[in-house]
């Protein structure tokens, strides 16, 4: 009988920046091999020969796959030379992408360490979005909702806060507001504003499990209604009715990661904006036709 236990391998991620890009790429690749589990060794901010020397020592002690994002050619040469000597694979993960850019644009790349983290207008826009989102967590400052790009609604434990923070990191000012059937719903949300409103729901079983774990963590033993499946089902039904009344889209997060939920929200918002542009273009065409 085949051994069902996963096999482990060492995975070294070497970067002259934060290593976020490498970590994301490595995770996307590793999950395709369910029978194996990577032991990750993340080596960020490797920019000098001395720093690389320490990394190479760790690679020698735990050989495995080496992925890197480094722009210094001397460091690249040293890293690849040592990997060849150790007979382990190494790959500059962004190089194939750069080759496509170079071929299409007809111009060589201009290597820039941590270029994606430059303190430009986009960076400060994301910081501003994160500050806004943190200040508008869990229904706080409802009078200021008109400045939001996105408003997330949902009953307790539908991943509103982590999804809001992830959207903020993408540059979207996001407010999240809890839906509590026994409390008045904020009138600001139903009034005129430009924010995209979307509701998050999950299965009663999933919400009950998350709430139960949270109740145990907090040591609160008076939360029977909070974790009651029938009560949760009632809350979800109220959410659906509310969304149907105002035409707000609903996303079921039961089997979605925060990243997947955020991607779905952004796509829905972009579709809405595209529909608005089409309507405005049609209106302009009609006006011009009438004027002619």
The model's pLDDT over 157-179, given as tens digits with 9 standing for 90+, comes to 999 999 999 999 999 999 999 99
Supply the range of the domain harboring residue 160. 121-279
Q: Of 105, 134, 164, at which residue does a domain stop?
A: 105
Tell me, what's the pLDDT at 261? 96
Whether 179 and 153 have beta carbons less than 8 Å apart is answered as: yes
230 has pLDDT over 50? yes
Per DSSP bridges, beta strands 174-178 and 250-252 are unpaired
Same domain, 90 and 174: no
Regarding predicted confidence, which is higher, 53 or 109? 53
116 has pLDDT over 80? no
* Both structure tokens of 84: 């060849």
Q: For residue 290, is it within any domain?
A: no
Mean pLDDT for the stretch of residues 59-78: 95
Same domain, 17 and 135: no
Mean pLDDT for the stretch of residues 193-213: 94
Residues 88-101 pLDDT 10s? 999 999 888 888 88
Same domain, 156 and 74: no
Q: For residue 31, is it within any domain?
A: yes
Same domain, 182 and 75: no
CA-based torsion, 250, 255, 256, 257: positive or negative: positive
Q: For residue 289, is it within any domain?
A: no
* Both structure tokens of 222: 């008076």
Neighbour order of strands in the sheet with 64-69: 36-43, 7-15, 64-69, 90-92
62 has pLDDT over 50? yes
Q: For residue 52, is it within any domain?
A: yes
Q: For residue 45, is it within any domain?
A: yes
Same domain, 202 and 271: yes
Same domain, 196 and 223: yes
Q: For residue 235, is it within any domain?
A: yes
Tell me the residue length of the chain: 292
Same domain, 157 and 224: yes
Tell me, what's the pLDDT at 1? 40
Same domain, 125 and 259: yes
pLDDT band at residue 145 under the 50/70/90 scheme: confident
Same domain, 129 and 225: yes
Q: Of 105, 134, 156, at which residue does a domain stop?
A: 105
Whether 196 and 269 have beta carbons less than 8 Å apart is answered as: yes
When divided into structural domains, the chain yields a total of 2
Regarding predicted confidence, which is higher, 71 or 14? 14
For 160, counting Cβ atoms within 10 Å of its Cβ (0-12 exposed, 13-18 middle, 19+ buried), the class is: buried
What whole-number distance in Å separates Cα of residue 41 and Cα of residue 68? 12
The residue assigned the tokens 């809001």 is: 164
Among the listed ranges 53-67, 169-183, 278-292, which one has the minimum average pLDDT value?
278-292
Q: For residue 284, is it within any domain?
A: no
Same domain, 128 and 267: yes
Mean pLDDT for the stretch of residues 20-32: 91
* Closest CA relative to residue 201, chosen from 144, 168, 244: 244
The enclosing domain of 223 has a CATH number of 3.40.50
Mean pLDDT for the stretch of residues 8-35: 92
Q: Of 51, 81, 105, at which residue does a domain stop?
A: 105
pTM, two decimals, is: 0.74
Same domain, 80 and 146: no
Same domain, 62 and 150: no
Alpha helices by DSSP H, the chain: 20-30, 49-61, 73-86, 95-105, 121-135, 160-169, 187-190, 204-218, 224-227, 229-246, 258-291
pLDDT band at residue 123 under the 50/70/90 scheme: confident
What whole-number distance in Å separates Cα of residue 74 and Cα of residue 279? 55
Q: For residue 80, is it within any domain?
A: yes
* Both structure tokens of 200: 């998050």
């Amino acid at each position: 009988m085949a051994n069902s236990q996963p096999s482990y391998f060492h995975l070294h991620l070497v970067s002259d920046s934060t290593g976020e890009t490498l970590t994301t790429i490595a995770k996307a690749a590793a999950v395709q091999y369910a029978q194996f589990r990577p032991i990750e060794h993340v080596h960020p901010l490797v920019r000098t020969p001395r720093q690389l020397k320490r990394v190479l020592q760790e690679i020698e002690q735990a050989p495995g796959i080496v992925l890197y994002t480094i722009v210094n050619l001397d460091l690249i040469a040293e890293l690849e030379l040592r990997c060849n000597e150790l007979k382990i694979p190494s790959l500059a993960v962004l190089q194939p992408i750069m080759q496509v850019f170079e071929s299409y644009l007809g111009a060589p790349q201009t290597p820039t360490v941590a270029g994606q983290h430059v303190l430009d207008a986009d960076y400060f826009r994301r910081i501003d979005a994160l500050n806004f989102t943190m200040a508008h967590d869990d229904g706080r400052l409802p009078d200021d909702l008109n400045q939001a790009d996105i408003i997330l609604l949902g009953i307790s434990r539908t991943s509103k806060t982590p999804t809001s923070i992830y959207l903020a990191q993408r540059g979207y000012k996001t407010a999240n507001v809890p839906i509590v059937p026994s409390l008045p719903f904020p009138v600001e949300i139903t009034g005129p504003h430009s924010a995209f409103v979307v509701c998050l729901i999950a299965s009663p079983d999933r919400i009950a499990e998350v709430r139960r774990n949270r109740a145990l963590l907090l040591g609160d033993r008076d939360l029977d209604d909070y974790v009651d499946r029938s009560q949760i089902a009632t809350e979800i039904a109220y959410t659906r009715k509310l969304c149907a009344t105002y035409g707000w889209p609903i996303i079921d997060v039961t089997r979605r990661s925060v990243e997947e939920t955020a991607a779905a929200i952004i796509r829905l918002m972009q579709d809405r904006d595209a529909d608005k542009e089409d309507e405005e273009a049609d209106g302009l065409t009609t006006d011009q036709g009438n004027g002619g």
